[in-house]
Amino acid sequence: MLEEGIKGTFKERIYDESKLSVVEHQMAKYIANCSASATHLKKEKNHIETLIADISHQTKTPIANILLYAQLLKEQEMEESGRTCVEVLTQNAEKLNFLITALVKLSRLETGVIQLVPKEEGLEEFIKKSVEQVQFKARQKSIDIKVEIEDDARAHFDAKWTMEAMINLLDNAIKYSSSNTCITIKVESYEFFVRIDIKDEGIGIQEEEHSKIFQRFYRSYEVANEEGVGIGLYLAREIISNEGGYIKLSSKVGEGSTFSVFLPILHEENRKKNSMKDEIFQSC
C-alpha cells in the first residue's frame, strides 16, 4: 500500500469490517489530504507569483516617471531650496526603486518562482565581471580592489544569481570603507568547496551584531545615517544557501570585515550523474 501510495496508484480494494479494510480506508484519506494540500500550495504559489508580477509591473512605470520628471526639474532654473527638494525627491525615488526591485527578487527566490540552476563554472572570469560592476563606486572613493585567485579555480554555482550576491557584498565593503583604502578578494580551493574572501579595511562590525546583519531589514545603529535598506546581505545569503553554499563573517570594530563565501565543488562522480541527466533531458 505504501509503495502504491508513493507511485500514486493506490486504490481501496477491500470493503468489509476487517483491520486491513480500516487501514486501506485510513491510507486513502491520508493520500487524499496530502493531494489536497499539494493542490492548495500550488494555487497559493501561483497566486503569489501573479501578485509579485503585478507589483513589479504596476510600480515600474510610476517610479520611472518620478525619476524622469525629477531629472527634467534639475535642468530648470530654480532657487537653491528648489534644487535641494529635487535632489531629495530623486534620492528617495531611487531608494524606493531599489527596495521594490530587491523585494521582488527576494520574494521570487523564497517562493520558488525563481529556480537557481547551478553548474560548474570558472571563477576567474566571474570575479572579474563582479568587480567591473562596482569599479565606478570604488574609484569615486579611491578604493583599490585587489584579486588573488588561482587560474583553474572552479565551483558549482548559478553565475547570474551568485554575481548578484557578490555585488551586494562588494557594495557593502565599498560603502562602509574609508577613502584611499583597499578591498582584497582572495579565492582558495579546497577538496569540497571554494572559499571567496572579501576583505575590507572599513569600520568593522561589533561581535553581538554578527548574527543579526543577515536578517531582513536589519541595520546597525552605527550606520543608520548611511544609504541602504538592510536587504542586501539577506538576499546574498538566500542566494548562496539556495545553491548549497553559505556565508561566514569575521570582523572587529575598527579593523575591517571579511565576508567568506563558500561554494560547493562538483566531484567527478556527481559530474557524471549530471552529465547523464543532461543527455537524457536532451534526448527527450
Phi, psi of 192 (to 5 degrees): -110, -10
- The pLDDT of residue 22: 86
Q: Among 72, 93, 114, identify where a domain stops.
A: 114
**Mean pLDDT throughout 90-113?**
76
Share of the chain above pLDDT 70, in %: 86
Grid cell listed for 183:
578591498
Assign residue 234 the CATH number of its domain.
3.30.565.10
The domain boundary, picked from 114, 138, 162, lies at: 114
pLDDT at residue 227, as a whole number: 63
Q: Is residue 279 part of a domain?
A: no
Range of the domain at 176: 119-269
Among 61-65, 181-185, 199-203, 276-280, which range has the highest average pLDDT? Answer: 181-185
- Is position 278 within any domain? no
Number of domains into which the chain is organized: 2
The fraction of the chain above a pLDDT of 90, given in percent, is 25
134 shares its domain with 99: no
User: pLDDT tens for residues 249-263?
Assistant: 998 888 889 999 999
Q: Does some domain include residue 47?
A: yes
246 with 158, same domain: the answer is yes
Q: Are strands 182-189 and 193-199 parallel, antiparallel or unpaired?
A: antiparallel
Picking from 51, 80, 114, the residue at the C-terminal end of a domain is 114
Say whether both 98 and 146 belong to one domain: no
CA quadruple 273, 279, 280, 284: dihedral, nearest 10: 160
